[in-house]
Amino acid sequence: MGKLKGFSEFDRLDEKYISVKSRIKNFREFTVKPSDKKIQEQGSRCMDCGVPFCHSGCPLGNLIPDFNDAVHEGKWEEALSILHTTNNFPEFTGRLCPAPCEAACVLGIINPPVSIELIEKNIVEKGFENGWIQPNPPEKRTGKKIAIIGSGPAGLAAAQQLNFAGHLVEVYERDSKIGGLLRYGIPDFKLEKNVIDRRIDIMQKEGVIFKTNIEIGKQITIEQLKKEFDIVLLCTGATIKRNLPIKGQELSGVIQAMDFLKKQNLVVDSLGTKEEHLNAKNKNVIVIGGGDTGSDCIGTSVRQGAKSITNFEIMPKPSKTRTKDNPWPYWPFTLKSSSSHDEGSNRKWSIMTKEFIGNKEGKLTGLKTVEVEWITNPEGEKELVEKQNSEKIWDCDLVLLALGFTGPEDKVLAGSDIKIDSFNKPITSKYMTSDNQIFAAGDNRRGQSLIVWAISEGREAAYEIDKLLMGATSLRTKLKGDLVK
Ligand SMILES: Cc1cc2nc3c(=O)[nH]c(=O)nc-3n(C[C@H](O)[C@H](O)[C@H](O)COP(=O)(O)OP(=O)(O)OC[C@H]3O[C@@H](n4cnc5c(N)ncnc54)[C@H](O)[C@@H]3O)c2cc1C
């Protein structure tokens, strides 16, 4: 496996980018492709570690040492086949995954871990370049019909798996294009949308039917779908945006991050026109929220020509390295900087926004903050307290609320008596809701999460559905599949 001591011969290679000055001129992806030789060297850094913790770090159970070894040997097509065994869409995770597998890589105990995500992306891109990724329609059809609501990564993964199993799959999407947050949340500079289109094209050729501009719960009810289909799978995401209910929240200039990001994605796709109130040009922008969405707002504001960008995070600044209570192989809660952060933003930690300030016309002109700290109270619980005399006023014209999502919308389930929890999430057992004809997967079931989890949930739900319909299944999931031969 790998090259004996390859990890001591070659340093870790991280993805390289073109200069900030060049890349912020447009919304295109900006990574620089390494040579095959360099990627093969990276594959050879994978040690024969015995117990590959990366398998369990990855929600998909990707067979990482196997594809690393194939790449090291220059067997790219074999590497692709290994990768596709567990992951329907490595082109999404290879670009966007925070890579929990790398956090769990055994080499990471003593050295920088293997560049697993970089290797993954280069395998799948080589597959597309060489025409190795071709439609793979099922040999025969089962006669069973499945409706999937929502076309994000969970719905797409489930659709492809269930279609592989021979069922007729129809995907219903309320937006005009397929992809969910991949298309309308994540900016093009992280994921160009032709990357989604080429995969959809393959899935259509495999026989998956996509129906856009149809909102279930509005044009068609879930009860109607139940009459026409054997199973309905909810993959509608967790789309209720978290608000900041403080004084001044109604001022013009206080905008939800998703409204801002979706607008720009539509503009890039020539499906929308610029709107002044959703544009950062010449504005002092404050992004509230330090996660992925906040970072995407920064990169988008930079490209739109913002005058200044400040980013608030309520949590304290994390340490650069793992702390004692956060050891390997757990996810490291360390300081992370995205490519967008490097493009120009002023990051502030331990800051809480208390009030939005506006003028007589109802337009945002600034906001008021305090510094906060987390203390342990006498009951031993963590508590957020404001620091005395830390009040500060910040001038700004645009505030972007990147505070995450509270849960799924309830519209789609209107009229049904499916059991839900306090966050509107359907209560499931093996992905089946309290109605045995309705399943759920992805952010809709687990709450806001990651692409890799959405793909994993879609695959696991497909496994359970196929097993229910056919009595047995040959679909593979993380824990229940044949080993790669
Ligand atoms: C700005 C942003 C950036 C992100 N960046 C990353 C990242 O870099 N890496 C990462 O791993 N994760 C990232 N995420 C998270 C990731 O995008 C989600 O976890 C993932 O897309 C969830 O997939 P899903 O299929 O469950 O739902 P979604 O992608 O939300 O898709 C749900 C789909 O259902 C459709 N729908 C909803 N209701 C109905 C209805 N009634 N009828 C018909 N259609 C309906 C919606 O229109 C949508 O297309 C990001 C999220 C955001 C918001």
pLDDT per position as a tens digit, 272-324: 888 888 999 999 999 999 899 999 999 999 999 999 999 999 999 999 988 98
130 Cα to the center of ligand 1, angstroms: 30
Residue of 236, 413, 446 with the most ligand 1 atoms within 8 Å of its CB, for mutation? 236
Q: pLDDT class for 2, splitting at 50, 70, 90?
A: low
Alpha helices in 2-142 (DSSP H): 6-9, 20-23, 36-43, 53-57, 64-72, 76-86, 90-96, 100-104, 116-129
Q: Encoding tokens for residue 355?
A: 């009030």
Q: What is the pLDDT of residue 329?
A: 86
Q: What domains are there in the chain, each with its CATH number?
A: 6-129 (1.10.1060.10), 145-239+406-470 (3.50.50.60), 243-403 (3.50.50.60)
Whether pLDDT at 250 is above 70? yes
Quick one: which atom of ligand 1 is closest to the CA of 261?
1
| Axis crossing angle, helix 116-129 with helix 64-72, rounded to the nearest 10 | 60
Query: Helix, strand or coil for residue 56?
Result: helix
Please indicate whether residue 99, judged by its CB atom, sits closer than 6 Å to ligand 1: no
Q: Is the separation of the CB atoms in 231 and 154 below 8 Å?
A: no
> What is the phi/psi pair of residue 350, to 5°?
55, 45
Please indicate whether residue 217, judged by its CB atom, sits closer than 6 Å to ligand 1: yes
Please indicate whether residue 222, judged by its CB atom, sits closer than 6 Å to ligand 1: no
Residue of 60, 449, 451, 452 with the most ligand 1 atoms within 8 Å of its CB, for mutation? 451
Give the whole-angstrom CA distance, residue 6 versus residue 16: 21
Residue nearest to atom 37 of ligand 1 (CA): 236
426 DSSP 8-state letter: B
| Axis crossing angle, helix 116-129 with helix 36-43, rounded to the nearest 10 | 140
- Mean pLDDT to the nearest integer, 444-450: 96
92 DSSP 8-state letter: H
Instruction: Please report, rounded to a whole number, the percentage of residues in the chain having pLDDT higher than 90.
Output: 86
Instruction: Please report, rounded to a whole number, the percentage of residues in the chain having pLDDT higher than 70.
Output: 98
Q: Alpha carbon 181 to chain centroid distance?
A: 8
How does the average pLDDT of the chain come out, rounded? 94
Strand spans (E) along 158-313 = 168-172, 209-211, 231-234, 240-241, 254-256, 284-288, 308-312
Q: What is the DSSP string of 105-127?
A: -GGGGTSPPP-HHHHHHHHHHHH
Give the residue carrying structure tokens 């016309």: 361
Q: What is the pLDDT of residue 410?
A: 86
Q: pLDDT class for 483, splitting at 50, 70, 90?
A: very low
Quick one: which atom of ligand 1 is closest to the CA of 153?
25
Please indicate whether residue 237, judged by its CB atom, sits closer than 6 Å to ligand 1: yes
Q: Is the separation of the CB atoms in 378 and 321 below 8 Å?
A: no
Give the residue carrying structure tokens 């050729």: 205
Give the residue carrying structure tokens 């008596």: 417
Q: Encoding tokens for residue 78?
A: 């074999």
Cis bond upstream, residue 329 (ω within 30) = yes
pLDDT digits (tens, 9 = 90+) for 335-374: 999 999 999 889 999 999 999 999 999 999 999 999 999 9
Q: pLDDT class for 485, splitting at 50, 70, 90?
A: very low
The radius of gyration of the chain's CA atoms, rounded to the nearest angstrom, is 23
Give the whole-angstrom CA distance, residue 462 versus residue 449: 19
Give the whole-angstrom CA distance, residue 191 versus residue 180: 13
Give the residue carrying structure tokens 């493009």: 343
pLDDT digits (tens, 9 = 90+) for 79-100: 999 999 999 999 999 999 999 9
